[in-house]
């Protein structure tokens, strides 16, 4: 069976929040240290200690929002250890991630500089698990209070006269697990208490994000929404694709046909999670005021052989490109509730955008998908209906083709499509309604083998090229997606 796609260009489905294309950077492995921060004295060219090659690559993604400092690290992070003269900062053990020494050289000021250089909105994740209400409250005061106060004065002494704008603030992370092993009712009460002291100073209005559920823990969402929805602006959701399961996740590169299929099916599973958690949210918040914030997602495999198991360093193949494409289409299509998503993680950790090795850098297939999809940021979603073949693995079905579409301010239309079948192309009859189009162009990312990936010796093995496998057909298009591919079409009027 071929695939039928109908685009109704004049049927709007609301704005796709640009924050769906957000990122996450944790003090984990070589994400912050080496990946982003090399220090001002490094031989690697840098701006205020942040490496220039990584900055330049990331700038091209128009990253709208960046979550920091964790993750699990957030609930062990004491922000006061990370401000003031660097040489005097406290050294601590990063117990979650490899037991390495954290010298706190990258703290609040360095993170805010990174956000400024990337022109991205900071999303700070506070510590509920091992922190105090006072500590969280003082962090907000330190960052955002404009006037005389103990924390604002300290910030000025540390070189930052003006307060920063901090819009997004997370009150704890994974508090059902590494963030304190709490039960939902207990966390809901703690959330209510901690968030009380996350103050709005001056014009700075904080969007408060409560720590949400792990995967299919619907009871967590139910409890948080029932007990605290009026005190939150967002509720998070975490989901990772582990083809082999949580303990033996599977290899990032050396995987077989079946693992490909399981990975695709598990990537699609996030749609069921979004719909079921959303249904619970709808019960308490039919107006959809509280956003779903998917602030950790991605494909998480075993670490690269020979690397520190606590550093979560993994390679990234064309499989990851398709997983990213599928996931982002699903997020776009749930733009009524999802207002932010943050892939884990930006550099050198899990499904990263860029990998570094000393002074070398490579762009991953996932990076390229984010670059291709950035056209959807803050664009108007338009109706796209797909009727495609169902594929199957171990009795679980998943669609061969998925997609999403949006209209940019200049009227041009972008359609992103994925083909999850690694052996067969997808022949699409594409009906374009509601618009007379003049021109179609596109980009595709695919590769010959499913394990293909970029290395420091061969950094351009998997990268986008112009897409030409389409022809006009009586007001519509005939489009052929190659096996295991992500395509973005641009339709101009």
Does 121 contact ligand AHR by CB under 6 A? no
Residue 96 near residue 73, CB atoms below 8 Å: yes
One symbol per residue from 288 to 327: x for binding ligand AHR (CB under 6 A), - otherwise; what is it?
A: --------x-------------------------------
Q: Which of 38, 57, 66, 72 binds ligand AHR (CB under 6 A)?
A: 72
CB of 83 to ligand AHR, least distance (A): 22
Catalytic residue list contains 174: yes
- How far apart CA 308 and CA 385 sit, in angstroms, is 45
- Residues 245-284 close enough to bind ligand AHR by CB under 6 A: none
Does 344 contact ligand AHR by CB under 6 A? yes
In the complex with ligand AHR, the residue whose CB is nearer, 240 or 398, is 240
Residue 484 near residue 448, CB atoms below 8 Å: no
Q: Which region, judged by CB under 6 A, interacts with ligand AHR, from 66-74, 141-149, 281-289, 479-487? A: 66-74
Here the tokens at position 180 are 């304190």
Residue 437 near residue 472, CB atoms below 8 Å: no
- How far apart CA 493 and CA 481 sit, in angstroms, is 23
The DSSP annotation for 110-157 comes to HHHHHHHHHT-EEEEEE--SS--HHHHHHHHHHHH--SS-HHHHHHHH
Does 26 contact ligand AHR by CB under 6 A? yes
56 by Cβ neighbours in 10 Å (0-12 / 13-18 / 19+) ranks as exposed
Does 35 contact ligand AHR by CB under 6 A? no
Does 173 contact ligand AHR by CB under 6 A? yes
CB of 298 to ligand AHR, least distance (A): 8
Q: Which residue is nearest to ligand AHR (CB)?
A: 71
In the complex with ligand AHR, the residue whose CB is nearer, 35 or 71, is 71
Nearest CA-CA partner of 278 in 229, 329, 218, 333: 218
- How far apart CA 117 and CA 48 sit, in angstroms, is 10
Catalytic residue list contains 296: yes
Q: Which region, judged by CB under 6 A, interacts with ligand AHR, from 70-78, 352-360, 406-414, 480-488? A: 70-78
Here the tokens at position 383 are 């109706």
Owner of token pair 């900055």? 55
Report the 10 Å Cβ neighbour count for 434.
12
Does 70 contact ligand AHR by CB under 6 A? yes
Q: Which region, judged by CB under 6 A, interacts with ligand AHR, from 40-48, 64-72, 388-396, 414-422? A: 64-72
CB of 256 to ligand AHR, least distance (A): 26
Alpha-carbon 380 to chain mean position: 20
Q: Which of 71, 126, 184, 234 binds ligand AHR (CB under 6 A)?
A: 71
CB of 174 to ligand AHR, least distance (A): 5
Report the 10 Å Cβ neighbour count for 101.
10
Size of the site for ligand AHR (CB under 6 A): 10
Does 174 contact ligand AHR by CB under 6 A? yes
Beta-carbon contacts of 76 under 8 Å, excluding residues fewer than 6 positions away, are: 70, 94, 95, 96, 127, 129, 130
Beta bridge partners of 238: 214, 296
The catalytic position among 26, 174, 261, 271 is 174
In the complex with ligand AHR, the residue whose CB is nearer, 155 or 238, is 238
In the complex with ligand AHR, the residue whose CB is nearer, 117 or 215, is 215
Residues at the interface with ligand AHR (CB under 6 A): 26, 70-72, 173-174, 296, 344-345, 350
Query: Which positions are annotated as active-site residues?
Result: 174, 296
């Amino acid at each position: 069976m071929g695939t039928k796609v109908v685009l109704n260009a004049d049927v709007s489905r609301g704005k796709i929040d640009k924050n769906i294309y957000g990122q996450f950077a944790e003090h984990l492995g070589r994400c912050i240290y080496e990946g982003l921060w090399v220090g001002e004295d490094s031989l690697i060219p840098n701006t205020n200690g942040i490496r220039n090659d990584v900055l330049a690559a990331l700038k091209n993604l128009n990253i709208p929002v960046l979550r920091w400092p964790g993750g699990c690290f957030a609930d062990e992070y004491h922000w006061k250890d990370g401000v003031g003269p660097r040489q005097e900062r406290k050294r601590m053990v990063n117990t979650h991630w490899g037991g390495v020494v954290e010298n706190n050289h990258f703290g609040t000021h360095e993170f805010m500089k990174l956000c400024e250089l990337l022109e991205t909105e900071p999303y700070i994740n506070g510590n509920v698990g091992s922190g105090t209400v006072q500590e969280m409250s003082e962090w907000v005061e330190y960052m955002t209070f404009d006037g005389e106060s103990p924390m604002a004065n300290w910030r000025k002494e540390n070189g930052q006269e003006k307060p920063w704008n901090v819009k997004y603030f997370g009150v704890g992370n994974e508090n059902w697990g590494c963030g304190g092993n709490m039960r939902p009712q207990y966390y809901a009460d703690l959330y209510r208490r901690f968030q009380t002291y996350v103050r709005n100073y001056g014009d700075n209005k904080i969007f408060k994000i409560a720590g949400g559920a792990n995967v299919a823990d619907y009871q967590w969402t139910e409890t948080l929404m029932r007990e605290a929805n009026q005190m939150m602006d967002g509720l998070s959701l975490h989901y990772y694709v582990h083809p082999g399961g949580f303990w033996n996740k599977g290899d990032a590169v050396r995987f077989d046909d079946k693992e490909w299929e399981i990975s695709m099916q598990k990537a699609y599973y996030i749609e069921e999670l979004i719909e079921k958690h959303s249904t619970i949210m709808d019960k308490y918040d039919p107006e959809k005021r509280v956003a779903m914030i998917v602030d950790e997602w991605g494909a998480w495999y075993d670490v690269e052989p020979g690397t520190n198991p606590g550093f979560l360093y993994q390679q990234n193949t064309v499989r990851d490109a398709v997983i990213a494409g599928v996931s982002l289409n699903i997020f776009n299509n749930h733009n009524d509730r999802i207002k932010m998503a943050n892939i884990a993680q930006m550099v050198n950790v899990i499904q990263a955008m860029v990998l570094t090795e000393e002074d070398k850098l490579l762009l991953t297939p996932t990076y390229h998908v984010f670059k291709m999809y950035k056209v959807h940021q803050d664009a108007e979603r338009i109706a796209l209906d797909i009727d495609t073949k169902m594929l199957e693995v171990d009795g679980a079905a998943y669609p061969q083709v998925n997609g999403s579409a949006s209209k940019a301010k200049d009227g041009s239309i972008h359609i992103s499509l994925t083909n999850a079948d690694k052996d067969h192309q997808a022949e699409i009859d594409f009906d374009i309604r509601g618009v007379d189009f003049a021109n179609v162009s596109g980009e595709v990312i695919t590769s010959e083998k499913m394990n293909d990936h970029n290395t420091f010796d061969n950094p351009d093995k998997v990268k986008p090229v112009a897409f030409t496998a389409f022809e006009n057909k009586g007001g519509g298009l005939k489009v052929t997606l190659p096996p295991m591919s992500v395509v973005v079409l641009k339709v101009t009027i």
